[in-house]
Structure 1
């Protein structure tokens, strides 16, 4: 019926309608509001601070670079003594923007953001680091290893807690801002929420496939746990009950970055095929998505989304393997 109606329209009106449809489609195109280059030939790792003010990148030519995003200014360039630049594959910024962390598979370093000075280098010799997190005040570090251990360290007192809770390698860890609660997930299809002071397991999450990503909400209300297939769940930590499940059509979705934003109302995810997606936490529904810009010379034309966050109140910012900081409008 609609097709018949369209065919009866005058050619000029039909042309105008088709043009309008085309322009509407273009208005949803993946064009960033702003784009800044942070790594000339791409990045091995990158993270944006929670409020978007800073970014840290690990790249081929510049090693570790720390950026003031609001002024597009390079603040510091750092390097590890015992690792090549391409070995630094994890970078983090503490929740209060006081400290930064960089890690290879066998060591990690802590940096003071205010002064730019190194706070310390730490060796890990028994098994390779898979993921690592830093508390807000830079006092606590949590990392997961290939051997299944999750290690919590108090850098002030030297207290070290080893949790051999996973039977296979750990893929993802997260640490609460105060350093008191940890979340870890591994190849054994399990994730654990536990107290870093008492070593008591608070909740266990069992999945059918390998856990690929875990994340805690800043206020300690929610935990995100996803496997490497199609199970992506948000749990209410206070009640221990499932809060929502992300709803998507893809047969599988492996996330490269996850962050709760806007006081836990929304979730931002990134993946290895350029896509950033905004989700409603309560419903699990996708609200909007963007496609980050790949580098022109790359084949295939893709990029890994390393980090995304809320920029002001109506935009998001992303860092990707293309070495670009990009700012996008939320509709």
Structure 2
């Protein structure tokens, strides 16, 4: 018993992480029966949730009340598995595996639906004012689409299916990662590669800092990096001891000091951007159902200097205490 206690203390010292917090300050049901996907706006004032037992719901997080109910492609079973909110909170993209739609957040009305016939949609992103939509597909192609002009640009740099995409607020720069072990930062105006970020295994998650400072790329094994997008140089690697750590969401803080991530195993983590050090960890409520009980953290956001919020497959929005690292 004494040996176990000593090993436990050593483990805490090595990880440098405090105890996991699993008691939220507040918990709200945003989707009865669980969720298929969710996204939180960059300013954490809006979330959009694709429910298992209902259609897509837009939530006002400040009032914690429903703003809109949306049906992606008419009545029937909801199949929306990808969601994106523009940085300026103007538009939302909803997507199932075969089609994507653009919604105006001011009016709550759809402005168009488009079908992809040749391959499945894997992930989506949208720029300010809905000017450009990024669509990552299973055939390795990433499409940049301008709804107003109808212009389409196909990025052909990847060799295998796309897992994650993100876009800058102005729509000029895209970040994509796929099963070919590579993430690319590229220009949506001409399709030219700006930087190539190589990994030893498939790239499962990418994220851009909206302020134009950083890019986050993570693979399916043990390598998660933060890059300087001005120079293409690596800033840090996230420091953790698990043999495998998958990320399902990522969000940079507005001041650029921190990265907030979610995982498919209930975990939320706060990281120091410059050092890659893990600062805090939380664990969301598991989804109701048979064992093993778990939950995918679909989205995370900074509510204030002292709190953060998450949306997960449990169908819950949970508010968490944030230590005064900031």
RMSD of equivalent CA atoms: 1.6
Partner residue, 1:42: 34
Q: In structure 1, what is the Cα distance between the partners aligned to 2:83 and 2:46? A: 12
Query: Is 1:112 matched with 2:104?
Result: yes
In structure 2, C-alpha distance between the alignment counterparts of 1:157 and 1:191, rounded to whole Å: 28
Q: How far off its partner does 1:80 sit?
A: 2.2
Distance 1:40 1:156, change over 3 A: same
Tell me the equivalent position of 1:188.
Answer: 180
Runs (4+) of structure 1 moved beyond 6 Å? none
Aligned: 1:299 with 2:273: no
- Equivalent in the alignment of 1:93: 85
1:236-255 paired onto structure 2 within 5 Å: 236-255=228-247
Deviation at 1:119, TM superposition (A): 1.0
1:137-176 paired onto structure 2 within 5 Å: 137-176=129-168
What runs of 5+ residues in structure 1 fail to find an aligned partner? Answer: 4-25
1:27–1:227 CA distance, 2 compared to 1 (3 A): closer
TM-score by length of structure 1 reads 0.89
Distance 1:236 1:71, change over 3 A: same
Displacement, 1:298? 4.4
Shift of 1:84: 4.9
TM-score w.r.t. structure 2 length? 0.91
Aligned equivalents of 1:195, 1:310: Cα separation in 2: 28
Greater CA drift, 180-189 or 295-304: 295-304
- 1:65 aligns to what? 57
**Distance across 2 between alignment mates of 1:168 and 1:101:** 24
Residues 216-245 of structure 1: CA deviation (Å, up to 9, x unaligned): 111111111111000101111111211100
Deviation string 1:76-97 (CA, Å, 9 cap, x unpaired) is 1111226854421011211111
Does residue 227 (structure 1) correspond to residue 245 (structure 2)? The answer is: no
SS at match of 1:102: strand
Distance 2:20 2:260 in 1: 18
Contact 2:132 / 2:171 at 8 angstroms: preserved in 1? yes
Residue 265 of structure 1 deviates from its aligned partner by: 1.0
* Secondary structure at 1:114 match in 2: coil
In the superposition, relative to structure 1, how do residues 311 and 188 fare at CA in structure 2: closer, same or farther (>3 Å)? same
Whether 1:262 aligns to 2:254 is yes
Kept in 1, the 8 Å contact 2:34–2:53? The answer is: no
Distance (Å, rounded) in 2 between the aligned partners of 1:115 and 1:58: 19
Q: Unaligned stretches of 5+ in structure 2? A: 3-17
> What is the CA–CA distance in structure 1 between the aligned matches of 2:169 and 2:284, rounded to whole Å?
29
Aligned 8 A contact 1:64 1:85 in 2: no
Residue 27 of structure 1: how far off its partner (Å): 8.8
Structure 2 residue 169 is the aligned partner of structure 1 residue 177: yes
Q: How many residues align?
A: 307
Rounded Cα–Cα distance in structure 2 between residues aligned with 1:191 and 1:49: 24
Determine the C-alpha separation between the residues in 2 that align with 1:50 and 1:85. 29
Partner of 1:207: 199
Paired with 2:142 and 2:93, the residues of 1 have a C-alpha distance of 17
Q: Aligned partners of 1:60, 1:234: CA distance in 2, in Å?
A: 34
Task: Give the Cα–Cα distance (whole angstroms) in 2 for the partners of residues 148 and 28 of structure 1.
Answer: 37
Q: CA deviation at 1:296?
A: 4.1
CA contact (8 A) 1:66 1:75 kept: yes
- What are the Cα deviations for residues 167-224 of structure 1, in whole angstroms up to 9, with x where unaligned? 1111111110110001111111111111111221111111111111111111111111
Deviation at 1:134, TM superposition (A): 0.5
Match of 2:22 in 1: 30
SS of the residue 2:248 aligns to:
strand
- For residues 153 and 289 of structure 2, what CA distance do their matches in structure 1 show? 45
1:218 and 1:264 in contact (8 A); partners too: no
